[in-house]
């Protein structure tokens, strides 16, 4: 008689499902899910296009840290032989290489600040966080001195000096304007739309040729929407996004004067870029970093 051992394929199936999801097109998987499933190399490929700003990276860092804390709680429960709920078990199996992704993200944030890639709002936010951290370090150093803990006090004094130096360096950076893809095309389309709306609002009789220009309006609106979609990144604050796009979309007087107002729908003005999914490698190399930016992103 042959006895075959029972093989539990649940874990293997979950891993295969996670791998398949991480290879899927980004549009088919929510960003909050994709950043947990994908390998660190795949996440890094999304930085230039979908996580370009410092604020977006900071929001992702907050999400990954929360996920790491939840995974740590799951591991503590398993170590205590406490079974996980189905929800926690599924989450634990989906979260891939969180420490490596956190370290990679912190390194990218450090590089972005060093390169001067902060907008004015981002710069002010970083300065405020660095000030708070420096004040905390200074207060902790004073407390350590009073308690007679010289070694701890020296470390805190060094940390305070490092944070102050970093704050001064960030303060000296010249802030950049929020980037907008296809800004020139957006301005032209805005100007064209304004002209069409002016025709539409006119109550008097107009030449037939002028009225026919209104046929272009749906196409213009569609192209503006496509530019908005191309600019929308992951974890970007909606209010900040709308403000950024509104500022870029205001046509100057020169642009308005040159805006096309006749012919067919301006399909050649802008074409939405094709979406390409980043395919992660089979294994993730561990990435490490150590800098004061590890103190940021906790808010």
| Digit-coded pLDDT (tens) for 102-149 | 999 999 999 999 999 999 999 999 999 999 999 999 999 999 999 999
**% of the chain beyond a pLDDT of 70:** 74
Q: What residues contact residue 284 under an 8 Å CB cut-off, 6+ apart? A: 39, 40, 41, 96, 97, 100
Q: Which of 3-7, 25-29, 90-94, 289-293 has the lowest mean pLDDT?
A: 3-7
Judged against a pLDDT cut of 70, whether residue 23 lies above it is answered with no
Please tell me the predicted confidence (pLDDT) of residue 254.
41
Please tell me the predicted confidence (pLDDT) of residue 203.
86
Please tell me the predicted confidence (pLDDT) of residue 101.
97
Please tell me the predicted confidence (pLDDT) of residue 190.
94
Please tell me the predicted confidence (pLDDT) of residue 251.
52
Per-residue DSSP letter, 237: -
Please tell me the predicted confidence (pLDDT) of residue 28.
76
Judged against a pLDDT cut of 90, whether residue 25 lies above it is answered with no
Please tell me the predicted confidence (pLDDT) of residue 296.
54
Judged against a pLDDT cut of 90, whether residue 293 lies above it is answered with no
- 192 Cα distance to chain centroid: 31
Higher confidence at residue 249 or residue 74? 74
Q: Mean pLDDT of all residues in the chain?
A: 81
Helix (H) or strand (E) holding 2: none
CB 189 within 8 A of CB 266: yes
Per-residue DSSP letter, 263: S
Among 19-23, 163-167, 240-244, top mean pLDDT goes to: 163-167
Among 2-6, 188-192, 267-271, 278-282, top mean pLDDT goes to: 188-192
pTM value? 0.71
Judged against a pLDDT cut of 70, whether residue 10 lies above it is answered with no
| Beta strand residue intervals within 135-207, DSSP E | none
Across the range 214-228, mean pLDDT stands at: 95
Nearest to 293 by CA among 69, 35, 118, 49: 118
Instruction: Tell me the two tokens of residue 83.
Output: 């079974």
| Digit-coded pLDDT (tens) for 222-232 | 999 999 999 99
Sign of CA dihedral 256, 261, 267, 268: negative
Please tell me the predicted confidence (pLDDT) of residue 273.
46
Judged against a pLDDT cut of 70, whether residue 88 lies above it is answered with yes
């Amino acid at each position: 008689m042959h006895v075959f051992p029972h093989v539990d394929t649940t874990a293997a199936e979950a891993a295969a499902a996670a791998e398949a999801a991480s290879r899927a097109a980004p549009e088919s998987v929510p960003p909050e899910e994709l950043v947990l499933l994908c390998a660190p190399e795949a996440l890094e490929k999304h930085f230039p296009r979908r996580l370009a700003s410092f604020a977006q990276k900071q929001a992702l860092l907050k999400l990954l840290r929360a996920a790491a804390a939840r995974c740590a709680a799951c591991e503590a429960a398993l170590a205590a032989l406490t079974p996980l709920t189905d929800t926690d078990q599924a989450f634990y199996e989906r979260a891939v290489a969180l420490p490596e992704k956190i370290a990679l993200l912190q390194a990218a944030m450090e590089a972005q600040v060093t390169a001067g890639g902060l907008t004015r709002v981002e710069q002010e936010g970083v300065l405020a966080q660095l000030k708070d951290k420096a004040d905390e370090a200074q207060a902790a150093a004073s407390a350590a001195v009073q308690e007679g803990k010289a070694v701890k006090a020296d470390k805190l004094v060094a940390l305070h000096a490092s944070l102050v130096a970093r704050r001064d360096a960030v303060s000296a950076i010249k802030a950049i304007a929020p980037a907008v893809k296809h800004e020139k095309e957006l301005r032209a389309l805005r100007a064209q739309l304004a002209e069409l709306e002016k025709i539409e609002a006119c109550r008097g009789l107009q030449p037939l040729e002028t009225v026919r220009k209104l046929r272009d309006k749906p196409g213009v609106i569609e192209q503006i929407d496509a530019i908005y979609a191309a600019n929308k990144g992951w974890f970007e604050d909606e209010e900040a996004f709308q403000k950024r796009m509104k500022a870029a979309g205001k046509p100057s007087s020169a642009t308005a004067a040159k805006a096309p107002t006749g012919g067919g729908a301006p399909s050649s003005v802008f074409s939405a870029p094709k979406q390409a999914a980043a395919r992660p490698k089979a294994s993730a190399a561990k990435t490490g970093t150590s800098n004061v930016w590890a103190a940021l992103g906790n808010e």
